[in-house]
Amino acid sequence: MATPTDHSADGFELPVVAPVCPSANSPGVSELPVESDSCPSVPPQSAAQHQTQRGGLWSRVVCRLVSAVYDRSLGVFPPKVRIETTNACNAKCVICPHHKMTREVQRIDGDLYRRIIDECVEYGCREVHLHNFGEPFLDKRLEEFVAYAKGAGLPKVKIFSNGSIISEQRARGVLQAGIDEIKVSFDGATAEEFERIRYPLKFDKVVDNMVRLVKIRDELGSPARIYVACCSTSDKTQTMAMLESMVDGFSFGKIHNWGTEDYETARTKLRKPCRRVWETFTVLSNGDVSLCCLDYDGSVILGNVHRQPIREIWRSEKYRDIRHAHRRAEQHRLALCGRCSKAYL
């Protein structure tokens, strides 16, 4: 990724990091598929490949039944909106393809952010996430953004953070602004494993920041919940033992392939519809609406909130085509979804 220019004067803390230092076992990221003019698709395949990727009769049964449940809750507006306030990051985690991102490193326009929040409130959106493919605390406006969303009446405002730059001042500010949930990404069962995976972050620094964050939360009497999110550890029990006295809970996920990686992560060949295309709307820092949070380079764009309201994009033909493919276990027709490990049981 090219080194961006310095925007610190206008409230944007760009990270300074050493070159990426992946582990010997970290996978590479393959070339992204190209978006077509209509429903984004992957190249044609043989009948045998088609049947294998489609997963057969049981995949179609599963996708029809599960998507019928999702369809019942599909409204005119997404229940969750994810706003990428910045796509800058100060980490080079070996399980993350951020270093492959070719998008310009930038922060979202403030007026656009407020318009998004206003539309979310108008249509009864339940939850807004102020993160996507960057570290939200690199944006000095984070506290202002949280306060605006909560003041406008949003029920839940949430962020994911790598925890490395949550100073006392920033912790106090975001809690006083009314944040409802903070999840700190934390991988590894030891300091050594953490620092290998989440390079160049320092284990002791992140732990100290979490301890202080919880202490300030309790001091202020804030109802905010603070969790640890972990997707890579050699010993889940040890990870929990290190941190369970500090936080409110844990969220353990699984390594996935971002829809573009070559390594195999799916446990079965049985397809499932992805809840994200019925539930979550992702706005990138330039206003583009990407297929989902795993689309780190914005390779599948469904609209742009500078030009269209969220409700219009959410019920657009592109979104309908994507949901239809998931209903029929035809994710193989879609860029990213076709290879994504999260499209399998």
Share of residues in the chain with pLDDT > 70 (%): 79
Query: Is the confidence at residue 10, as pLDDT, over 50?
Result: no
Closest by Cα among 84, 77, 3 to 295: 84
Share of residues in the chain with pLDDT > 90 (%): 62
Q: What is the mean pLDDT of residues 66-72?
A: 95
pLDDT for position 134:
96
pLDDT for position 257:
61
Region at 124 (left for phi over 0; alpha for psi -120 to 50; beta for the rest): left
Query: Is the confidence at residue 282, as pLDDT, over 90?
Result: yes
Element (H, E) at 81: strand 80-83
Closest by Cα among 260, 304, 252, 297 to 281: 304
pLDDT tens digits for 75-90?
999 999 999 999 999 9
Beta bridge partners of 82: 129, 282
- 163 or 25: which leads in pLDDT: 163
Q: Using CA atoms, how far apart are residues 344 and 63, in angstroms rounded to an integer?
A: 10
pLDDT tens digits for 110-123?
999 999 999 999 99
pLDDT for position 258:
59
Q: Using CA atoms, how far apart are residues 167 and 102, in angstroms rounded to an integer?
A: 30
Query: Is the confidence at residue 255, as pLDDT, over 90?
Result: no
Kindly report the pTM of this predicted structure. Answer: 0.81
